[in-house]
Amino acid sequence: MHERVKLTPSPTEAADDRIAGLDRARTFITLSVVLYHSAINYTYFGQGGDRMHWLGFDLVALFNDSYFMSCMFFISGLFVPASLASRGASDYLGRRALRLGVPYIVSILVIMPVAYYRYYVAEDQFTTVWWRMISEGPWPSGSAWFLGVLLIFDIVAALVGALAPRLIDGLGRWAGNLLRAPLTGFLVFLVIANAAYLPLHLGFGDGLWFMPGHFPLPLQASRALLYPTFFVVGMAIGAAGLRTGPFAQDGAPVQRWPVWFGLSYGCYGMILLLAYAHHNWIADFDSPPLWWRAAYGSAVASFCASMAFGVPTFFLRFARAPLALMDRMQPSAYGIYLLHFLPLLWLQYLVFDPAWSAAVKFAIVLVGTLSVSWLAAALLRRIPLVARII
């Protein structure tokens, strides 16, 4: 009977009541994901598989990889309290299963196998590769892992909303009171982010991923607490009210968006300095000392926290600014995220052999991936059932 208990957000904050600034923030994160995946194949120190590379792409990949997934979970959490308040736990779960669960299943069974088949195109038929992938592994999830993890977080949030709705109310009051002094509130968030990241970062490093068997639901071990923490903090701020609370367009944290970006670029500068020290000043590259690992982990966690505040507050502050291209892309942003791995991997394959520069290959992959996935998403959204999902 707790399902319809009213949470903090007002009726004007129904789940379908669009907030242009947050829509733009989510679109920006999608673009960051596409940019990262387009650049990483041409990095010098990273995971680049192409023989052509450029150090500048390492800076692009490091910047995006260090923050965008935690920011996505943070922004996702902002909308949870209003959705639970307007729909109730059961309807909320049904909608999330449709919007996250169905695309996740389609991604791992169709989109990702077709995308990753480019690695096996000269070896076996697609059906052979597909069945081996499903039955034996490895079974790559690509960007779809985020959907599965977010759905788990949403299930837990719905259970809390049904069984202990006052807990979400309490989170909203806590966040609202704390962020009346935004610098103090952010400092608390900074401490929480470091506490969630540092222990696992020091214990596992950043290269280990938890993988249940060969099934496509991986989670980076060092960020196993960071992501749910950012999701819960997003929920707390959302429960304080998206139109009337701290992240309202005239809210104190929004007015201080330059502070969050200044802090984020300071933290990124520290990440670069520590990376330089790792490559040039530390004798044992594979086993850096504890002080370096702690400093690097703290810089990453602090960068994540700064960008989680910086990205949405920037777009909320300038919600009325003309960004026509981004606004046209916004309805298809989720579809772009879901589909982009397919043209991305095949374009990387098509430009692999030519001796073009890394910049040319990157430009072809980026523009082609974004164009194809945007067009495909827009066309799929013409189908009413698909439009309900993406």
Residue by residue, pLDDT tens for the chain (390 residues) are 333 334 444 433 444 568 999 999 999 999 999 999 999 999 988 666 899 999 999 999 999 999 999 999 999 999 999 999 999 999 999 999 999 999 999 999 999 999 999 988 878 899 999 999 999 889 999 999 999 999 999 999 999 999 998 999 999 999 999 999 999 999 999 999 999 999 999 999 988 888 888 889 898 999 999 999 999 999 999 999 998 999 998 899 999 999 999 999 999 999 999 999 998 999 888 899 999 999 999 999 999 999 999 999 999 999 989 889 899 999 999 999 999 999 999 999 999 999 999 999 999 999 999 999 999 999 999 999 999 998
Give me 105's structure tokens. 């299943």
Alpha carbon distance 21, 84 (integer Å): 21
**Chain mean position to CA 94:** 22
Alpha carbon distance 342, 314 (integer Å): 31
Each domain of the chain, given as residue ranges in start order, spans 2-389
Question: 10: helix, coil or strand?
Answer: coil
Q: Please check whether residue 358 is in contact with residue 54, taking contact to mean a CB–CB distance below 8 angstroms.
A: yes
Alpha carbon distance 193, 77 (integer Å): 15
Question: 6: helix, coil or strand?
Answer: coil
pTM score of the predicted model: 0.93
Output the CA torsion 88→102→28→113 (10° steps). 160
Bond from prior residue into 138 cis (ω within 30 degrees of 0): yes
User: Residue type at 106?
Assistant: V
Q: Please check whether residue 245 is in contact with residue 11, taking contact to mean a CB–CB distance below 8 angstroms.
A: no
Cα separations in angstroms, 42 against 36, 52, 357, 370, 374: 10, 6, 10, 17, 23
Q: What integer pLDDT is reported at residue 17 of this predicted model? A: 66
Residues 6 or more apart in contact with residue 167 via CB below 8 angstroms: 160
- The residue written with tokens 């490093």 in the block is 205
- The residue written with tokens 């968006």 in the block is 257
